[in-house]
Amino acid sequence: MKTLLASIVPFALAAMIGATPALAAEEAAGGTPHYPIHHPKEVEWSFAGPFGTFEKAQLQRGLKVYSEVCAACHSMHLVPFRTLSALGYSEDQVKSFAATHETEDGPNVDGEMFTRASVPSDYFPSPFPNVEAAAAANNGAAPPDFSLLAKARYVERGFPQFIFDMFTTYQEAGPNYIYSLLTGYEEAPAGVVVPEGAHYNPYFIAGPALAMAQPISDGQVTYDDGAPETLDQYAKDVAAFMMWAAEPHLEARKHLGFKVMIFLLIFSALLYLTKKAIYSRMDH
């Protein structure tokens, strides 16, 4: 097996490295432009790596940014209020936070739908009744739902980076993309035609410009924990919050993973010693 692997790798590397420069050159020479124009910036996230955990204060700030800014257009319909206790809120805090929202319920005894204050078992209400309404109100482009967005965006990292990613357990492409997009708005360079109603952003994954204008800027949301009220901080906080919304059991997964890894390492070591003892009886 050792020789098997040792022989595969150099062949594969040689084959790929040999081919890559030629291809890159051709891409640069023209043809279809590739988006995003810039690769996402890389942020140091508290939840990255095998021992990563969410920073509760950051998630609370992210929730604040979402509620005060993003929620005006973006739904988050898979996330129930009850799960907010994971952000460090007490049961009462979750209840009173939910109560600041309205949920449609019914039908009542008269057969009519009605709205009532939300309770923890309700899900975040959506700002628009349906996708069509969302698109109509936003220049034809419906704002994507936030529930899974942090896992639904990935910018190709290419060879050989994706090999290294297996060892560094890189799973933060989504939050990096969101952070980069929020902080990436700029004036369109000369020669780039930005369609009417679109906004230039070299980090946007599907073109040079997107329908969303820069949604947030310095000082727009008041933090009560002393964190800087800057675009940079807002973007980080809301991206971290979105990662939590998309992967609420991330911490439990990594905690359990550590135990499983320790178990398997010890188990493998014991099996190895047993194997050695058994095979010492003979030549093989």
Partner 1 sequence: MSGDHSTYNPTTGFGKWMDSRLPLMRLTHDSFVSYPVPRNLNYAYTFGAILSMMLVVQLLTGIVLAMHYAASTGIAFNSVEHIMRDVNFGWLLRYMHANGASFFFVAVYLHIARGMYYGSYKAPREVLWILGVVILLLMMATAFMGYVLPWGQMSFWGATVITGFFTAFPGIGETIQQFLLGGFAVDNATLNRFYSLHYLLPFMIAGVVVLHVWALHVTGQTNPTGIEIKSKTDTVQFTPYATIKDGLATSVFLLVFCWFVFYMPNFLGHADNYIQANSLKTPAHIVPEWYFLPFYAILRAITFSIGPIDSKLGGVLAMFGSIAVLFLLPWLDTSKVRSAVYRPWYKLFFWLFVANAIFLGWLGAKPAEGTYTTLAQISTLFYFAFFLVILPVLGLIETPRRLPNSITEAVLAKRSGSGGSKPAAAAASPETRG
Binding site listing:
70, 73-74, 212
Tokens of 14: 């040689």
Annotated binding site for heme c: 70, 73-74, 212
Exactly one of 133, 152, 192, 213 binds partner 1 (CB under 8 A); that residue is 152
| Residue 227 Cα distances to 35, 57, 63, 265, angstroms | 33, 9, 14, 41
Query: Of the ranges 65-73, 100-108, 191-199, 268-276, which one interacts with partner 1 (CB under 8 A)?
Result: 268-276
Both tokens of 166, joined, read: 């297996």
Residue 165, interface with partner 1 (CB under 8 A)? yes
Q: Examine residue 274 and tell whether it contacts partner 1 (CB under 8 A).
A: yes
Q: State how far the Cα of 250 lies from the Cα of 130, in Å rounded to an integer.
A: 30
The region that residue 140 occupies, defined by phi over 0 for left and psi between -120 and 50 for alpha, beta otherwise, is left
Q: Cβ distance 48 to 247 under 8 Å?
A: no
Query: Which residue lies nearer to partner 1 by CB, 6 or 113?
Result: 6
Q: How many angstroms separate the CA atoms of 15 and 98, rounded?
A: 57
Beta-bridge partner residues of 200: 209
174 binds partner 1 (CB under 8 A): yes
Q: Between residue 184 and residue 223, which ones bind partner 1 under the rule CB under 8 A?
A: 206
Q: Is the separation of the CB atoms in 114 and 104 below 8 Å?
A: yes
- Interacting positions 84-143 with partner 1 (CB under 8 A): none
Interatomic CA distance for residues 173 and 283, integer angstroms: 50
Determine the 3-state secondary structure of 225 from DSSP.
Answer: coil
Interactions with partner 1, residue window 226-265 (CB under 8 A): 246, 248-249, 252-254, 256-258, 260-261, 264-265
Applying CB under 8 A, the residues found at the interface with partner 1 are: 1, 4, 7-8, 11-12, 14-16, 19, 22-23, 26, 31-32, 49-50, 78, 83, 144, 147-148, 151-154, 159, 165-166, 169-171, 173-174, 206, 246, 248-249, 252-254, 256-258, 260-261, 264-265, 267-268, 271-272, 274-275, 278-279, 281-284
